[in-house]
Amino acid sequence: MTAPFKLYMTGDLVLDEPNADFFFDKARLLLAEADLLIGHVEVPHTTRGRESVGDIPAPASDPENLKAVGRAGFHMVSLAGNHIHDRGGEGIDDTIANLAGQGLVSAGAGLDLDQARRPAVAARGGVRVGLLSYNCVGPKEGWAGPKRAGCAYLKIITHYELENANPGGPPKVYTFADPDTVEAMQADIAAIRGQVDVLVVAFHKGVVHTPAHIAMYEKAVAREAIEAGADIVIGHHAHILRGVEVWRGKPIFHGLGNFVSVTRALTAEGNENPVRRAWAEKRKVLFGFEPDPAYPLYPFHPEAKNGMVAACHIGADGVISPGFRPIWMTPTGQPEPLVDDARGRAVADYVAEISRKAGLKTDFAWDGQRVAFSAS
């Protein structure tokens, strides 16, 4: 029996600390299992440019830190997100060049919109994998244009509707994607579909630091991508896991959470940047959590210690068996792979629970050290 092609995908990569290789050490054997490995680079790696406006800017990371991604075994990365433009076109250009110098291909950002919408393609073991990447969360200042650097995007519209006779009371929130940008994404999918065996679409989407919640637009855009020809949809941005589902036989990972995400920029104590310090304080109130002081490099929601690496097995017939490998974030900021024991089952149960809370009809079963899932 021919061994399946193993396509693994991780959550956010934020490499703001020196000795970046250290943070991958516990997970190297897991990552080495993949025939092809995809990650998401969250911030620009550059010494050039000026901090942009429009969102809370993340600090640019040392270009040397990015080289740890190649050494960890990644082959492809998505870039479309709310921070990739934080050092303008120079930061995007330097990040893409750095990755290319390591032999990695990237999708989702560029010096103009055509470049940002261009797919990444990599061939491994006779399988051609394509990757498209889109930012759904803004800020619009970071969106690429015909002559403007930035990222590929879907424009999401938010509508608030008061549902009772109580002006100023809590509304119901409706979110949906602008049809023009959805059609552009569908055109991108159609253009690359016939050239690859497996097509992955990555969305930067969701409400940050909020357990289980999946906004209205998220299911819609993920399913529209599959209906247009995507084989796998993955999500980033929320910095906490989201549920998983299977739609028309294709897996959707609504949020892969964090992988190596080490930063001091979201910590209020000792933060010398007044804008980032204020946001670090404000988000605790907005999202109702206090970072664990035992995790100085990982200032995220306590439930964000639960993690996963998406692990899709693809047969010779092209059929995808979706699943994930549970991981646990350690106080050092290193993701630790788990197995089918009490700790691994606790993370798997967490994924099942947040999937159920989000209204996703998904069944789970252990398959060796991987948790496989299917439509109920």
Distances (CA, A) of 357 to 206, 254, 289, 351, 352: 15, 13, 19, 10, 9
Residues written for the chain: 376
Sketch out the chain's domains with CATH numbers.
5-375 (3.60.21)
C-alpha dist (Å) from residue 297 to 2, 98, 191, 240: 42, 24, 41, 15
Flag whether pLDDT at 163 surpasses 90: no
Please enumerate in sequence order all residues whose Cβ is within 8 A of that of 294, keeping only pairs 6 or more positions apart, or say none: 331
Q: What is the mean pLDDT of the chain?
A: 96
Q: Given a cut of 70, is residue 190 above it in pLDDT?
A: yes
- Convert the pLDDT of each residue in 14-53 to its tens digit: 999 999 999 999 999 999 999 999 999 999 999 998 887 6
**Per-residue pLDDT tens over the stretch 64-105:** 999 999 999 999 999 999 999 999 999 999 999 999 999 999
pLDDT at position 56 over 90: no
**CA-to-CA distance for 297 and 294, rounded, in angstroms?**
9
- For 339, list phi and psi in degrees, rounded to 5: -125, -175
226/233 Cα distance (integer angstroms): 7
Closest CA to 81 of 105, 116, 111: 116
Helix (H, G, I), strand (E, B) or coil at 294: coil
Closest C-alpha among 143, 171, 156 to residue 217:
156
| Cβ proximity of 77 and 98 under 8 Å | no
